[in-house]
Structure formats: structure tokens, C-alpha cells
Structure 1
Amino acid sequence: MDTGVRTEAEQTDSAQALATEMRAKRLQHFLKGRRDHLELSQEEVAERLRISGRAYGNWERGRVKEWTDRKLYSLADALRMSEFQTTRLFLYAVDRAPQPELRAMFRRDLPADPAASAFLDDYENVMMDALSLPTFVIDRRWGVKMANKAYHDLFRNVRAHSGAMPSDNFLRFGLFHPDAPAVLVDHPKWQLAMLAQLASSLERHDADPVLQAIRREVYMNPALRDAYLKDMPDWVLGSGADLVHHESSVRELRHPDPQVGLQGCRLVEETPRSLQALGLMRITLVLVDPEGRYMAGQARSHGHHAA
């Protein structure tokens, strides 16, 4: 009986692996065909994307850790794809249709300076994965510009969701994704802090269309609207408005690895000047025990602003 179940599972895994391989090959032929049609070299496409030629070569070969909506829409723009072609791109890359209304939200403002673009490419491909703790880089909208393997591992069981993936925007994930409570334990506390961060960001960037869109979506949810208008202002008086920069707050998260499981978590901001100059901030999720002490084996020198 058990043998039969394992055999059936193995067959299912094999079929899924074959389907993934076929989609990857179709994606490679599709991208190369579109590039050839436009008579563009890989370097020219990379220049449009403001990434290195080496990085784009990996994109075209399907060597991407995770296809986010942001990456796919940027690619569609660089290769001047129609709506039909963009849909094919998404189906080949992530086996689902795109959400056209979110396209503007996931276009990232990349620096025009080639040296700055090259720095970001190297930082993402070398520095980030050298860090053992879950680490991500955000812009003023909490849009995730890059994240390391440990971060992706933390959210590996999160189901696909249009516009609220942890690899796209950390605030939107915490506020709107139905799987967020499975990772962010005592979810209402996380949401209060994120709503406060949204209000704080809107005070500084009140005309930002992405932040405005997040607030509109908050207002469409009665529970979140009440929390934003009633509970959050009271919480701010006691705790401060910023998700990152008030001391000693330890929240809880549940890691999908059962050997890690339920842990306390501090959000630690440790942004080098090179990222600050580009309007970016690096955040590390540092695991602590229930009393707020760093877990054994973790570096104690991470950052200097704990949330």
C-alpha cells in the first residue's frame, strides 16, 4: 500500500518536473525570439533593464531564483511586448496570467547611472546571499528590490497571490496576503505596525501612487479600515509610528523549517551608505528567543536599529 502511494507521488513529481522543464524551454525560445525580432543583443536588452549583460543572460536561460511580477513586467517593457505576449510570458515563467492593473506598481525606479546599476546587480548577486539571516532591501514604498535565499526560504510555503507576495512588497504581504498569519504570528500586531508604517510613509510621500493604492485597499477592508482609523493612532502614541526604528519590540514568526519553528523576531535596519544614496534600506529579520535574546549561533553585530 505504502509502496503504491510513493510510486504515485514519484510519478506526480516527475510529471511536474517535466512540465516545469518544458515551460522553461518555451520561455527561453520565446525571449530569444522576441529579442531577435527586435534585432537586439542581450547587452542591449540588459541596458534597457538596467542590469548587467551577465544577469540578463541568466534571465533568458531561465536561471532565476524567483520570477516576481516586477521582473516579468520589466522584461515585458524592455522587449516591447503586447498584452497577449505579456500573458504568454507569465504563463511560461510562473504558469499563471498577469494582473495588468498592477503593472505600474511593479515598475521599479532604477538608477540611470550605469555604475549604480552595476553596483546593485553585484550587491544582489554577491552580497545578499552571503548573509545567513533573512535579509531584504526595500524602497520608500516597502517594495522589495532584492532579497536573499534565507528570506525566500522563510516564505517558501506562501501561495501565489496577485500583488501581495513577500518578494514584491512587504507591507502588502503583511496586510493583504491570506497566508501572512501563518508566518507572522499574532498577525494583528504585525498589521498595526504595518498600518503605522503606511501612515508614516504617506506623511513623507503623500503623492506616491503606490502608497495611495495600498491605503485605498486598506479602506476597502472594514477590519483594516477600523484598525487604520481607530486602533493604529492609539498604538502609535505608545509604540511609535515606524515599523523599524522603535527599540526593543519583538514580534513572533513561524519558520517553515520545523527545526526552527516559532521564534521571536526583531527587524534590524543595517543600511550601508551606498544603498541609502539610492533611496533604499536593508532590513534583516533576526531571530530571538521569547525573552528577546539573540539565538545561539547568530551574529550579535547585526545593525543598530531594532524594531
Structure 2
Amino acid sequence: MQAQRSDSVRLTLRDQGEPGSSRLQGEEADRPGAEAAPAASRGKRLQGLVQGRREYLQLSQQTVAARLEMSTRAYGNWERGVVKEWTDQKLYGLAAALEMTPFQTERLFWLAVDRAPQPELRSPVQQPAQDASTAAFLGDYSVMINALALPAFLIDHRWNIRMANGAFRELFRAVHPHPTAMPTDNFLRFGLFHPDASQILEGHVAWKLSMLAQLAASLERYDDDAVLQVMRREVYLDAALREMYLQDMPTWTYGPGADLLHHGGTLRLLLRHPDPGLGLKGCRFVEETPRPLQAQGLTRITLVLTDPNDGAAAQKQHFRSLQAA
């Protein structure tokens, strides 16, 4: 009776496709298709996990493909399990794009490669090759901006953070982890989508309006950029942000309000620094980009922290009139 029960348990695990169920022993391993059956079962469960997670998040294949910086067709192959080899880098990237929890990420690994994740093997994102002189310049530039007391950072046209100094990281030290909207990854996504943003970006609605204006300005210049289009689509999926983008943001740009960069230094916002000695501060974006950075498609921004009352009265008056409209 005990032997029959053991056989039943082993067959049940095989049929369910649980991790490790492909390790058949004895005569079962010699049966035709014995290994293929659990592998096929895991493949179907993998497809179900990936597609189900995407649909739960209400994301299109195009949106996930843009997050992964690949074509929609290539991502469609991933979702169908048509992959030459599942590497750790691919799986970690897919888990991040689908905002998976640690439990879901572990399940993804078991279904794809029949083992648990191994964080120490996680491959870094490959950066474009740089010549020796450019690499040396960027190294020196990193030393320079880290010596600044004010928060400073470099962005690309998508507002991805490419370099940031210690003062910038200190400003956001208390921010909780988020799969797609960390301030040290993309500044616009942080301000628009991170739940902690309002704790630092004081008067968060004004920040959102200026960031939406920046998104619109960036899309005017790079209208075929898939990643910026995805960000706009995510704005549309949020009812409050969509209304703000379509109705309030145009009015914002007609008055003292503007986007984050193209405003001649007139835009004043407020932020609350985590250092109690600094507390509430005015914030002005200063763009100052030398030619070597421009050649790399990068923009250098410094957050100039000022008296919170400096230039804020006109902006508050405009914002009140916007709310009353």
C-alpha cells in the first residue's frame, strides 16, 4: 500500500508540472515522452503566468515590449515561450517589466529554467560602447558633480537617470522600492507614478502638471519614441492623470507654469528635503550641459534649492486660478 501511495504522489507531481518534477527515476524515465510531458506542462504554465500578469496589469504587449526595449513581435514570442534560451538577464528583465513580486519572480524562474533565481548571476544592463576619451570625460564628470552640495543628475531624452550625485540620492533616500518608478531610474516616472512622490515633491499637483508638460514637450521632439509613447499611454490609463494631461496641463503652460526644462529658469516648485535642517525648500531646475554631454545625448540638471517663498507667490496664485476654472 505504501509503495502504491508513493507512485501516486510521484505521478501527481509530474502531471502538475511542479519544479523538479522532471527528475523521473527508474522505469518511468525510460518511457517515451516522459521528460517532454512535464516540460510541456511547465511551458503552458509559464505562458499563463506571463500573459496573466500582463493582463492583470492591463498592459498591452506593445507596452511591455517598450519597457524591455524590444519589438512587439519579439516580446510576443517571449509570451508564447518561443525563446532560444532563457537567461537570468531576460528573466529578471521580464519580471521587472511585469512588476512581479518576489514570489512571482521565483515562480517565473522555476517554470522557465527549473531552478530558483540566483541574484548573484544577475547580468548588468549593457551600456553603449564608449571610446576611451569619452569614458575618461564621464569619469571626471562624475567626480565633479559628486563634489557639488546641490542635487545634480544627467538624463537622456526619456528622462532616464544616467548619472546622479550623492546629494540627489540623499534627497530620495526614504523612497520605498517600486518596480518602474524609482527616482534614480527615471525622474518623470517617479513624479507621475510613485506613491511616495508627494512626500518629497511638495505641492504634488504642480509637479505633476510640469512633468506632464515636459512629457508633452519631449513627445513633440521625439514623437516616434516608443518608451515615451508608453509613458503617455500609462498616463491615459489613470483617469486623474488623463484629465490633468488633456485639460489642466495646457492651461498650466499658458500662465507662469511650464515644463521642467524649457522655461528660462522661471519655474519655481517646492520640495521637502528629508534632512530636518533643510525641510521645505524652493526648487529651480537649472540646465547646464557642456558639448561633450550633448554629443552623448545627455542633459545635465542641477536642482537649486532656495527660500520656499522665493518666486512662489505668483505660482500659487496661478495654481489657485487653475483650480477655480
Q: Indicate whether 1:164 and 2:167 are aligned.
A: no
Q: Counterparts of 1:139 and 1:220 in 2: how far apart (Å)?
A: 25
Cα-Cα RMSD:
2.8
SS in 2 for 1:228: helix
Structure 2: gaps of 5 or more residues: 1-67, 70-84, 100-123, 312-325
Deviation digits for residues 21-74 of structure 1, max 9, x if unmatched? xxxxxxxxxxxxxxxxxxxxxxxxxxxxxxxxxxxxxxxxxxxxxxxxxxxx99
Q: Counterparts of 1:215 and 1:123 in 2: how far apart (Å)?
A: 32
Q: Counterparts of 1:144 and 1:180 in 2: how far apart (Å)?
A: 16
SS in 1 for 2:277: coil
Q: Indicate whether 1:266 and 2:289 are aligned.
A: no
Q: 1:251 aligns with which of 257, 261, 269?
A: 269
- C-alpha contact (below 8 Å) 1:111/1:117 kept by paired residues: no
Deviation digits for residues 156-196 of structure 1, max 9, x if unmatched? 00000011000010000000000000000000000000000
SS in 1 for 2:181: coil
How far apart are 1:107 and its partner, in Å?
Answer: 6.0
How far apart are 1:122 and its partner, in Å?
Answer: 3.5
Q: 1:202 aligns with which of 219, 231, 235?
A: 219
Q: Counterparts of 2:86 and 2:258 in 1: how far apart (Å)?
A: 40
- C-alpha contact (below 8 Å) 1:86/1:98 kept by paired residues: no
Q: Indicate whether 1:99 and 2:102 are aligned.
A: no
Q: Indicate whether 1:215 and 2:218 are aligned.
A: no
Q: Counterparts of 2:220 and 2:127 in 1: how far apart (Å)?
A: 21
Q: Indicate whether 1:135 and 2:152 are aligned.
A: yes
User: Superposed, which structure 2 residues align to 1:36-185 within 5 Å?
Assistant: 83=86, 85-86=88-89, 98-101=95-98, 110=128, 112-124=130-142, 126-185=143-202
Sequence identity percentage: 55
Q: Which moved more, 1:196-205 or 1:111-120?
A: 111-120
Which residue identity does 1:292 align to in structure 2? Answer: D
How far apart are 1:251 and its partner, in Å?
Answer: 0.8
SS in 2 for 1:185: coil
Deviation digits for residues 124-159 of structure 1, max 9, x if unmatched? 2x1221111110100111110010000000000000
Q: Counterparts of 2:127 and 2:262 in 1: how far apart (Å)?
A: 25
Deviation digits for residues 70-96 of structure 1, max 9, x if unmatched? xxx99xxxxxxx656348979xxxxxx
SS in 2 for 1:248: coil
- C-alpha contact (below 8 Å) 1:184/1:254 kept by paired residues: yes
SS in 2 for 1:284: strand
Rg comparison, structure with higher value: 2
Q: How many residues align?
A: 205
How far apart are 1:257 and its partner, in Å?
Answer: 0.8
Q: Counterparts of 2:254 and 2:126 in 1: how far apart (Å)?
A: 33
Q: Counterparts of 2:126 and 2:301 in 1: how far apart (Å)?
A: 18
Structure 1: gaps of 5 or more residues: 1-72, 75-81, 91-96, 294-307
Superposition TM-score, scaled by structure 1 size? 0.61
Q: Counterparts of 2:261 and 2:295 in 1: how far apart (Å)?
A: 19
SS in 2 for 1:193: helix
- C-alpha contact (below 8 Å) 2:280/2:308 kept by paired residues: no
Q: Counterparts of 2:232 and 2:174 in 1: how far apart (Å)?
A: 27
Q: Counterparts of 1:190 and 1:267 in 2: how far apart (Å)?
A: 12
Distance 1:98 1:121, change over 3 A: farther
SS in 2 for 1:244: coil
How far apart are 1:236 and its partner, in Å?
Answer: 1.3
Superposition TM-score, scaled by structure 2 size? 0.57
Which residue identity does 1:99 align to in structure 2? Answer: A
SS in 1 for 2:255: helix
Partner of 2:293: 275
- C-alpha contact (below 8 Å) 2:161/2:187 kept by paired residues: yes
- C-alpha contact (below 8 Å) 2:212/2:259 kept by paired residues: no
